[in-house]
């Protein structure tokens, strides 16, 4: 015991953090891998983004633009925003952590919903704060439950809209009701990582609310529909005073040069983004219908993934996971999200989508592993 005390000790709470565990990314030897566990786009990155990335291969000795100027300008032009209120980061994960570090400390509370993105809890604990969980209704954020969980110690509220891993969302009117019910001193963070996939008239990512409020931030990512997950690139739109706080604590070169160049090119390739939306529009409902026909419960999703519930006994999620993995079909187990009887399925290319339905059909009919 004394030996342990005779070495540097992490701050209280750090060792209470369960490290984030990503989805599986490997299949058995000799089996073709279809990775459907990480919500990656089946269309890959834009050819223009790939070319922009390659174009910096002979300049790796140079520091990137520490202010992400060209990318912020491109984002501002794309969405009609004030570029001075945009902050870029190494994935939206970094933005979420920066926001928490800036506004949460020991004794403070950070709030999120039952099946919200795991990074929220990690970021709150890392900042020394206390995570508080608001219950959901039918795997969907409940505005009244969130407001009921707010206390004088609440400093930040995270709302993933749409939510990962459930695929559910709340309409913009509900988001505005949530904002109206929060104290002005509480920061509302709207995580809109999957906004580009949503095809609902009552949905909005949050730009309007950020533009007219002092306590709302919207985060976005290039990892999903733009296919730049390996480069780690995200951004947020925030009130000027929040952007100022983030710029004071972020690393001076927190976004690498190839990511900046690829991000600009990806934003410019509307045809590639439209193709990704069209692919999802075709296969999301197809997968939903075919899997539901097997007697499995599928949570209605507006993202590029589906949450599938399996029986608690018999043909369980764990058994289905093993059955599918043996065939090279890797889905995401979501027990860490409090969903031990579910698997999350990313919409993949046509071949993988058809194969996963065939495999699930065989599994439900009792085929041997």
Instruction: Kindly report, residue by residue over 229-239, the tens digit of the pLDDT.
Output: 999 999 999 99
Residue 5 lies in a domain: no
Q: Which residue has the tokens 């919409």?
A: 347
Any idea what the CATH number is for the domain that residue 252 is in?
A: 3.40.640.10
CA distance to 189, 303, 330, 344, per residue, from 335 (Å): 25, 20, 15, 10
Query: In this structure, are 116 and 218 located in the same domain?
Result: yes
Residue 6: what pLDDT? 86
Residue 314: inside a domain: yes
CATH code of the domain covering residue 345: 3.90.1150.10
Distance CA 286, CA 314 (A): 26
Per-residue pLDDT of the chain (369 residues; tens, 9 = 90+): 456 678 888 887 788 888 777 777 777 778 899 999 999 999 999 999 999 999 999 999 999 999 999 999 999 999 999 999 999 999 999 999 999 999 999 999 999 999 999 999 999 999 999 999 999 999 999 999 999 999 999 999 999 999 999 999 999 999 999 999 999 999 999 999 999 999 999 999 999 999 999 999 999 999 999 999 999 999 999 999 999 999 999 999 999 999 999 999 999 999 999 999 999 999 999 999 999 999 999 999 999 999 999 999 999 999 999 999 999 999 999 999 999 999 999 999 999 999 999 999 999 998 654
Tell me: do 93 and 147 sit in the same domain: yes
Task: Identify whether residues 157 and 27 lie together within a single domain.
Answer: no
Residue 292 domain-assigned? yes
Q: What percent of the chain has pLDDT over 70?
A: 98
Q: Are 187 and 158 contained in the same domain?
A: yes
Contact 198, 54 (CB under 8 A): no
Same domain flag for 30 and 82: no
In a domain, residue 144? The reply is: yes
What integer pLDDT is reported at residue 2 of this predicted model?
57
Domain with 27, as residue range(s), is: 10-44+271-364
Looking only at the bridges linking them, the beta strands covering 154-160 and 109-113 are parallel
The SS3 of residue 211 is: helix
Do 223 and 126 share a structural domain?
Answer: yes
Is 165 in the same domain as 309?
no
Tell me which of 241, 268, 295 is where a domain ends: 268
The number of distinct structural domains making up the chain is: 2
Q: What is the per-residue pLDDT for 26?
A: 74
Q: 120 and 205 in one domain?
A: yes
* All residues at 6 or more sequence positions from 106 whose CB lies less than 8 Å from its CB, including other chains: 128, 129
Q: Is 3 within the bounds of a domain?
A: no
**Helix (H/G/I), strand (E/B), else coil: 209:** helix
Task: Indicate the residue among 268, 292, 318 that finishes a domain.
Answer: 268
Would strands 109-113 and 86-89 be described as parallel, antiparallel, or unpaired? unpaired
Within a domain: 59: yes
Distance separating alpha carbons of residues 225 and 347, to the nearest angstrom: 12
- Does residue 1 lie in a domain region? no
| Same domain assignment for residues 105 and 53 | yes
DSSP label at 21? -
CA angle 223–280–115, rounded 5-degree value: 60
Residues 262 and 287 in one domain: no
Residues 40 and 87 grouped into a single domain: no
Q: Are residues 133 and 208 in the same domain?
A: yes
What is the distance between the alpha carbons of residues 237 and 214, in angstroms, rounded to a whole number?
12
Q: Is residue 2 part of a domain?
A: no
- φ/ψ of residue 34, rounded to 5: -120, 95
Of 250, 268, 286, the one marking the end of a domain is: 268
Contact between 57 and 159 (Cβ < 8 Å): no
């Amino acid at each position: 015991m004394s030996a342990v005390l005779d070495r540097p000790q992490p701050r209280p709470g750090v060792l209470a953090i369960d490290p984030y565990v990503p989805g599986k990314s490997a299949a058995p030897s000799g089996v073709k891998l279809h990775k459907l566990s990480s919500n990656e786009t089946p269309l890959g990155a834009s050819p223009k983004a790939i070319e922009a990335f390659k174009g910096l291969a002979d300049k790796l000795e140079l520091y990137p633009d520490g202010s992400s100027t060209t990318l912020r300008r491109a984002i501002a032009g794309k969405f009609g925003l004030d570029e001075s209120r945009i902050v870029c980061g190494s994935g939206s994960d970094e933005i979420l952590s920066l926001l928490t570090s800036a506004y949460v400390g020991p004794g403070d509370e950070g709030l999120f919903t039952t099946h919200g993105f795991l990074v929220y809890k990690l970021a709150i604990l890392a900042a020394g704060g206390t995570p508080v969980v608001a219950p959901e209704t039918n795997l969907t954020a409940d505005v009244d439950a969130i407001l009921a969980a707010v206390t004088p110690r609440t400093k930040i509220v995270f709302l993933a809209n749409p939510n990962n891993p459930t695929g559910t969302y709340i309409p913009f009117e509900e988001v505005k009701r949530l904002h109206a019910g929060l104290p002005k001193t509480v920061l509302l963070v709207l995580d809109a990582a999957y906004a580009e996939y949503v095809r609902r008239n009552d949905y909005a990512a949050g730009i309007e609310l950020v533009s007219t409020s002092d306590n709302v931030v919207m985060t976005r990512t290039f990892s999903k529909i733009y296919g730049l997950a390996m480069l780690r690139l995200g951004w947020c739109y925030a009130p000027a005073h929040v952007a100022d706080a983030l710029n004071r604590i972020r690393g001076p070169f927190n976004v690498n040069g190839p990511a900046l160049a690829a991000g600009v090119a990806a934003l410019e390739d509307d045809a590639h983004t439209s193709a990704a939306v069209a692919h999802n529009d075709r296969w999301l409902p197809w997968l939903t219908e075919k899997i539901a026909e097997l007697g499995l419960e599928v949570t209605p999703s507006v993202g590029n993934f589906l949450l599938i519930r399996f029986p608690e006994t018999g043909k369980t999620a764990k058994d289905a996971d093993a059955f599918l993995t043996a065939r090279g079909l890797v889905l995401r187990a979501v027990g860490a999200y409090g969903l031990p009887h579910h698997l999350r399925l990313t919409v993949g290319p046509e071949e993988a989508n058809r194969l996963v339905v065939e495999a699930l059909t065989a599994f439900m009919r009792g085929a041997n592993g």
